[in-house]
Amino acid sequence: MGFMDKLKGTAKQAVSPGGQMKERDKIAKINSSGVDATATVDSMEEVGSQLGGGHQIDFELTVHPADGGADYSVATSQAMHEVSLKGIEQGGTIAVKIDPDNPQSLLVWGAAG
């Protein structure tokens, strides 16, 4: 990804304060009541960066619910720091937390260990 692509991603985030509040609320809800599961990374692509060193990553995932339910696909975008990205790669298994009220809403927690 080139410098201009990263700059566009950063600018896009700065223009949407309402979107940031919605994302903050999603994170708070999933942190407090999210359901642990694993997922396979079908694809991942850095689409921007943030001030302070974060990376905006678009993920295509296959989620494997812990309750034994059927696997399903999710597309999500998440800001992640370098430390959180360690061990996450295409084809790998990751830990996720799922919104109990909306299985399409989740947070990538890190590499499954």
Predicted pLDDT of residue 17: 55
Tell me the per-residue pLDDT of 12-25, one tens digit each, with 9 for 90 and over.
444 455 667 788 88
CA dihedral 3, 4, 7, 13 (to 10 degrees): -130
Predicted pLDDT of residue 16: 53
Residue keyed to tokens 């304060």: 17
| pLDDT mean over 6-11 | 45
- Among the residue ranges 17-21, 93-97, 108-112, the one predicted with the least confidence is 17-21
Predicted pLDDT of residue 15: 47
Predicted pLDDT of residue 18: 61
Tell me the per-residue pLDDT of 29-81, one tens digit each, with 9 for 90 and over.
999 999 999 999 999 999 987 767 789 999 999 999 998 899 999 999 998 99
Asked whether residue 89 carries a pLDDT value surpassing 50, the answer given is yes
Residue keyed to tokens 């921007």: 48
At residue 104, φ and ψ (nearest 5 deg) are -80, -10
